[in-house]
Amino acid sequence: MGRFRFCSRSLNVAIVALFLLSFPFMCFGIRYFPANGEMEVHSGSDVLFGYTEAPEYRNGVGCSRDSIHVAMTIDLEYLRGSIAAVHSVLRHASCPENVFFHFIAAEFDPASPRDLTRLVRSTFPSLNFKVYIFREDTVINLISSSIRIALENPLNYARNYLGDILDPYVDRVIYLDSDIVIVDDIQKLWNITLQKNRIIGAPEYCHTNFTKYFTDSFWSDPMMSRVFGSRKPCYFNTGVMVMDMEKWRKGNYRKRIENWMELQRKKRIYELGSLPPFLLVFGGNIEPIHHRWNQHGLGGDNVKGSCRSLHSGPVSLLHWSGKGKPWVRLDEKRPCPLDHLWEPYDLYKRNHHRHQSVVGSFNFVGVHRDSEIL
C-alpha cells in the first residue's frame, strides 16, 4: 500500500476527517510495510524504542496452512504486556507461523497506530498481523463509572465490537487480554468445540458468588433479574475467550451488550466495567473450558492489587487481571512471586539481559480462591 503526502496540513486533516466519517462502523485496519528500513516514532516515549527483536519461531513438522486468529488490544500503557503475550504465544506454539494477530489500537492513544505497527514489525519481523484503529467515540457515551478508573478506558470495550472490527472472513477468533502469558500450545485452545450453538467458550467459575457482580437494585427488579430465570449463570473472565464470530454477527450480540450498558447509565446495576454486560448476555450459556486456560486474578483485587496464588491444577495460561501488573511491580522492585513467571517473556531491552531462559511447561498447585474481589 502506498503512502500519500499532502502539502497542506489543513487539507490533510479535512480529508482524514471525511474519511473517518464515511465509515459506518467504529474502526478501520492498516497494514504497514516500512520503506528503506525506516522507524519513525514521534510520541516521545522511550518505551517505543526499547524492545529487542524476538527469536525467529518456525512451524514444526506436520503444520497445515490453517490460520489461528488471535485478537488483542494494543496501547502505550499495556504495550509491554502485549509484546510479552505475543512472545509467549509464539514461543509455545507448535505452528507459530499460522498464528495471525489482530491488534486493536485506540484512535487517540499517545502512541499512534502507525507507530505501534512499526514497533510490532521490528520486534516480530515475520509475524502475521494487522492493526485496526478503534474509534473511541463509538462507546464513550455508553461507559459508566467503575470502581477503578482504569476499567473505564474505552479500549476495554473493544471486545464488544469484534464482529464489526475484524474482517468478515474471520469467523472464529481467540480474544486475549494484554496481561497474559501462554505456556502451552495455542492450537489446543483453538481446537476447542463450541457445542449446543454456543457463541463463546471460556473457563467458568461456578463456586463464585455471582450475585456480587450486580447491585441490589438489579436483583430487586423482577424484570431485570428474570434474565437469568431460565439459566444457571456462572462467572467467567472475558480476558480469554474463544468466539464464534459468524454466530456473533448473526445474533447481533454487540447490540445486546449495548442495551445493558444503556440501562446501566439510567439505573446503576453493576460496579465493574466491561465484564457485567457480558455476564448478563452470556452467563450460564457458554462453552466451559478447562480452568488451566485462564489462571486469572494474578494482579490481585481491583483496589489493593495484593499478591495472589494459583488455582489448584495444571496451568496453560497465566492472567494478571486485577490492579497489579507484573512489569510495573518488577520495575518498582516489589514483585509478587508469580510475577517472575511473566518476566522471561519480557522483550523490553532494559530487562531482557536478565532473563534469557524461557519458562517451559508448568504444573503448579496453588491455593483455590474466589475469582474476583469487588
* DSSP notation for 252-319: THHHHHHHHHHHHHHS---SSSSHHHHHHHHTT-SEEE-GGG-B--TT--TTT----PPPSS-BSEEE
Q: Are 108 and 200 in contact (CB under 8 A)?
A: no
Count H helices and E strands in the chain, helices first: 12, 11
CA distances to 240, 349, 368 from 130, in Å = 20, 24, 38
CA distances to 211, 314, 335 from 220, in Å = 11, 40, 42
- When pLDDT is averaged across residues 183-207 and rounded to a whole number, the result is 96
What one-character DSSP code corresponds to residue 362?
B
The more confident residue out of 216 and 138 is: 216
Mean pLDDT value across the chain: 82
Distance, in Å, from the CA atom of 296 to the CA atom of 321, rounded to the nearest integer, reads 6
Give start and end residues of each alpha helix (H) in the chain: 9-21, 79-92, 113-123, 162-165, 186-190, 216-219, 222-225, 245-250, 253-266, 275-282, 326-331, 349-352
What percent of the chain clears pLDDT 90, i.e. is strictly above it?
Answer: 58
Pairing relation of β-strands 180-182 and 317-319? antiparallel
pLDDT tens profile 219-258: 999 889 889 988 889 999 999 999 999 999 999 999 999 9
Q: How much is the pLDDT for 185?
A: 98
Grid look-up 463509572 returns 145
182 by DSSP, 3-state: which? strand
Q: How much is the pLDDT for 176?
A: 98
Q: How much is the pLDDT for 21?
A: 39
Segment among 31-35, 166-170, 185-189, 262-266 with least mean pLDDT: 31-35
Q: How much is the pLDDT for 187?
A: 97
pLDDT tens profile 312-367: 889 999 999 988 999 999 999 999 999 999 999 999 987 654 454 444 444 443 33
Q: How much is the pLDDT for 127?
A: 97
28 by DSSP, 3-state: which? strand
Q: What is the pTM of this model?
A: 0.82
Q: How much is the pLDDT for 45?
A: 52
pLDDT tens profile 306-326: 899 888 889 999 999 988 999
Banded pLDDT at 155 (limits 50, 70, 90): confident
On the question of pLDDT at 373 being above 50, the answer is: no
Banded pLDDT at 22 (limits 50, 70, 90): very low
- When pLDDT is averaged across residues 198-212 and rounded to a whole number, the result is 93
